Amino acid sequence: MKNQEKESPLGLDVGTSRICLARRGDGPTEYETQLNAFVSVPKSPITERVLGKEKIPHTVRDSDILVHGNEAGSFAGMLGIETRRTMTRGMLNPEEPDSVAVLKDMIQAATRRYGEQSERRVCFTVPAAPLGANDRLTYHEATVKQILTESGFHATPVNEGLAAVYAELEASNYSGIGISCGAGLCNVCLAYLAVPIVSFSVPQAGDYIDSSAAAVTGERANRVRILKEESFHFNGFFSDQLHQALGVYHDSMIESLVESMALALSGAGKAVRSNRPVPIVLTGGSVMPAGFRDRFENILRRRAFPLPVSEVLLAPDPLHSAAKGALAAALTGS
Ligand SMILES: Nc1ncnc2c1ncn2[C@@H]1O[C@H](COP(=O)(O)OP(=O)(O)OP(=O)(O)O)[C@@H](O)[C@H]1O
Ligand SMILES: [Mg+2]
């Protein structure tokens, strides 16, 4: 690692389903991603040794070992169990007693190599509150900041929708609507010349699609997620019930998103006006299915929308947009 690389800032996307670190390397921006999930496996010296040898992130406790990151998904599949999650709906999971401890270990595992440079800058993503609510945002943001500060970083939060704008709307001077459709939330931010004007989140996102489709088909949510990521797309004909259900709940997510955007942008006391049409950019894992952009635009254009929209863009690399935007914020000194 060159000196310049060692000192350069980092972008960290702390997502409900994945933690993604972005940094400037020699060439293009580099991304490292881990599943934000864990499983508990029985403790034994041999398991401990093998996990260490294979460099699989884990936490050893008195009675068990918590395996976290990408390998947690494989263990859960083999053991026939659901993974445990440190976060839900974009924030620390209040129903998971080990959430803070495991998230801390995961963030430290992702950033350890870069933390020795004291006060290195890192920007981390935080969700916006749902429309009209403040939620547990303060606790979540303060906890992640503390984890990073204790690891020697100078940490600053960046709103996830704004990160989407920073990542993908340079061509319009960071004016437009950034949308990040993730696992726990869809985050939206309208920015004008890089200034956030309205930000909010909507709770219908990837996890909602998985759990709703699981409930009506009797499948496990984790299995639904895997099938969705492998084979779901819009506008195809599916004879099986699972794909039919996935189509219904993707539509439902887009409808809720568009409805909330219309409400927020024309909403009580904060009607936003613009004569110049603004672009919308779609980012996040849940915009990945083929045909998503067209479906979103159809649903959007079907209704009266408070702002003129110039175009609906799909990010070229939707899974990395939030981390890329957080890195952009860190590089400009946020
Ligand atoms: N190819 C795909 N097709 C459909 N959905 C996908 C695909 N790839 C990933 N996803 C879904 O995208 C979601 C993860 O997206 P992302 O990594 O942007 O979320 P996150 O940042 O972890 O969550 P959040 O921003 O809500 O906190 C999951 O629900 C996942 O199932
Ligand atoms: Mg996200």
Question: How would residue 334 be classed by pLDDT, with cut points 50, 70 and 90?
Answer: low
Residue 160 pLDDT > 80? yes
**Exposure class string for 30-53: b at 16+ Cβ within 10 A, else e:** ebebbbbbbbbbeeeeebeeebee
Q: Write down the pLDDT at residue 118.
A: 66
- Residue written as token pair 């839900």: 88
Q: Write down the pLDDT at residue 117.
A: 60
Q: Which numbered atom of ligand 1 lies nearest the CA of 284?
A: 18
Q: Write down the pLDDT at residue 330.
A: 96
Q: Identify which of 16, 162, 225, 321 to mutate to test ligand 1's pocket (most ligand atoms within 8 A of the CB).
A: 16
Which residue ranges have their beta carbon within 6 Å of ligand 1? 13, 15-18, 90, 160, 180, 182-185, 205-207, 225, 228-229, 232, 284-286, 288-289, 319, 322
Residue 79 pLDDT > 90? no
Q: Write down the pLDDT at residue 220.
A: 86
Residue 1 pLDDT > 50? no
Q: Write down the pLDDT at residue 131.
A: 82
Q: Write down the pLDDT at residue 239.
A: 78
**Ligand 2 centroid – CA 284 distance (Å):** 6
Residue 32 pLDDT > 90? yes
List, in order of start, the domains of the chain with CATH numbers: 1-34+85-334 (3.30.420.40), 37-72 (no CATH)
Q: List pLDDT tens digits, range 270-310.
A: 556 777 899 999 999 999 999 999 999 999 999 889 899 99
Rounded to whole angstroms, the Cα distance separating 142 from 138 reads 6
Q: Identify which of 82, 229, 283 to mutate to test ligand 1's pocket (most ligand atoms within 8 A of the CB).
A: 229
Question: How would residue 129 be classed by pLDDT, with cut points 50, 70 and 90?
Answer: very high
- Name, in order, each residue with C-beta under 8 angstroms of 310's C-beta and a sequence gap of 6 or more: 277, 278, 279
DSSP 112: G
Question: How would residue 97 be classed by pLDDT, with cut points 50, 70 and 90?
Answer: very high
Q: Identify which of 107, 168, 201, 286 to mutate to test ligand 1's pocket (most ligand atoms within 8 A of the CB).
A: 286
Rounded to whole angstroms, the Cα distance separating 211 from 17 reads 14
Q: Write down the pLDDT at residue 188.
A: 97
Question: Which residue's CA lies nearest to atom 21 of ligand 1?
Answer: 15
| Ligand showing the shortest atom-to-Cα distance for residue 246 | 1
Q: List pLDDT tens digits, range 175-219.
A: 999 999 999 999 999 999 999 999 999 999 999 999 999 999 999
Q: Write down the pLDDT at residue 161.
A: 98
| Ligand showing the shortest atom-to-Cα distance for residue 34 | 1
**Ligand 1 centroid – CA 206 distance (Å):** 6
Rounded to whole angstroms, the Cα distance separating 10 from 32 reads 11
Q: List pLDDT tens digits, range 229-240.
A: 999 999 777 779
Q: Write down the pLDDT at residue 304.
A: 87
**Averaged pLDDT of the chain:** 91
Rounded to whole angstroms, the Cα distance separating 308 from 175 reads 13
